């Protein structure tokens, strides 16, 4: 059974066809990248996968189950988490609190209710202890100890991106969608991000769908790549195949104008 599969996925906004018959398959445990110029439809694809948009047509199958059109919280419960192109965190909460919020889909007794209302020995109290333990593991994995009690709004951009990654991991996803995780980072921060993503793949066995503009990063870490433009697939293949595909070169370098950044 294919771990994750998209078939003939299409969605239009008014007259604009944002995705047209997009097809691809992702094998378990791999890193699969989606590239394409700005406006190609990459984020729209993620929005269809995690239920923010309901596609007009097509199938999205995760672990043998069709998920297209399901609500975002249902899809999250099935084990699909994401980060956003523009960081979406609670800037006035600290790192620990943001990661605890990432676990809300697991919480039976309501967020932060436990320890305050009923004490540590109650069910809610024990439940919170379990969640905190899980979150501490993520803090260790992503090396966030130094900022665990700091308000997220005041952290450097690269660190906020890492906290957002942690919040997604707090859901214990089987499939993780990363929308431009290295956007706006300097080269050292980008190197770090590559390291964290590899770690998540290797140590947690999470399958990763990655939207990324930095071509070097994409070539370094992905097993397979889907290139799209104007909502349609240009090609899908290994980094070597995609890199030298004429349609990909044209989409990025364009004959009349450069429409995206290639680095």
Ligand X SMILES: Nc1ncnc2c1ncn2[C@@H]1O[C@H](COP(=O)(O)OP(=O)(O)O)[C@@H](O)[C@H]1O
What residues make contact with ligand X under the rule CB under 6 A?
13, 16, 18, 36, 38-44
Least distance to ligand X, CB of residue 260, Å: 9
| Stretch of residues binding Mg ion (CB under 5 A), selected from 78-86, 104-112, 200-208, 224-232 | 78-86
Please give the backbone phi and psi of residue 77, each rounded to the nearest 5 degrees, phi first.
-65, -30
Kind and range of the H or E element at 21?
A: strand 16-26
| Stretch of residues binding Mg ion (CB under 5 A), selected from 2-10, 40-48, 129-137, 239-247 | 40-48
In the complex with Mg ion, the residue whose CB is nearer, 42 or 70, is: 42
Whole-angstrom distance, CA of residue 150 vs CA of residue 19:
40
44 binds Mg ion (CB under 5 A): no
In the complex with ligand X, the residue whose CB is nearer, 39 or 237, is: 39
50 binds Mg ion (CB under 5 A): no
Q: Does residue 167 contact residue 89 with C-beta atoms inside 8 Å?
A: yes
Whole-angstrom distance, CA of residue 36 vs CA of residue 227:
6
SS3 per residue for 25-50 = EECCCCEEEEECCCCCCHHHHHHHHC
43 binds Mg ion (CB under 5 A): yes
In the complex with Mg ion, the residue whose CB is nearer, 34 or 135, is: 34
Mark 202-220 as b/e (b = at least 16 C-beta within 10 Å).
eebebbbbbbbbbbebbbe
- DSSP annotation of 104 reads G
In the complex with ligand X, the residue whose CB is nearer, 13 or 123, is: 13
Least distance to ligand X, CB of residue 43, Å: 3
C-alpha distances in Å from residue 223, one per residue of 24, 52, 119, 193: 13, 27, 48, 17
Nearest position to Mg ion, beta carbon? 43
Least distance to Mg ion, CB of residue 36, Å: 9
Least distance to ligand X, CB of residue 178, Å: 13
The residues that touch Mg ion, with contacts defined as CB under 5 A, are 42-43, 85
């Amino acid at each position: 059974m294919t771990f994750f599969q998209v078939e003939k996925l299409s969605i239009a906004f008014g007259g604009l066809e944002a995705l047209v018959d997009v097809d691809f398959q992702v094998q378990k445990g791999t890193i699969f990248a989606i590239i394409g110029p700005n406006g190609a439809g990459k984020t729209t694809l993620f929005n269809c996968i995690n239920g923010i948009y309901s596609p007009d047509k097509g199938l999205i199958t995760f672990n043998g189950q069709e998920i297209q059109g399901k609500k975002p919280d249902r899809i999250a419960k099935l084990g699909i988490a994401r980060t956003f192109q523009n960081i979406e965190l609670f800037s006035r909460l600290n790192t620990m609190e943001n990661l605890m919020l990432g676990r809300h889909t697991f919480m039976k007794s309501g967020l932060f209710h436990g320890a305050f209302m009923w004490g540590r020995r109650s069910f809610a109290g024990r439940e919170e202890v379990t969640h905190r333990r899980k979150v501490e593991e993520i803090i260790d994995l992503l090396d966030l100890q130094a900022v665990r009690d700091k308000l997220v709004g005041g952290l450097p951009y690269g660190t906020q991106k890492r906290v957002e990654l942690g919040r997604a991991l707090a859901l214990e996803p089987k499939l993780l969608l990363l929308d431009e995780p290295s956007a706006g980072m300097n080269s050292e921060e980008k190197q770090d991000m590559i390291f964290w993503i590899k770690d998540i793949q290797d140590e947690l066995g999470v399958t990763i769908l990655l939207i990324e503009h930095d071509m070097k990063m994409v070539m370094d870490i992905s097993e397979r790549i889907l290139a799209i433009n104007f909502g349609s697939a240009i090609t899908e293949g290994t980094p070597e195949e995609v890199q030298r595909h004429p349609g990909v070169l044209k989409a990025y370098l364009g004959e009349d104008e450069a429409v995206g950044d290639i680095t």
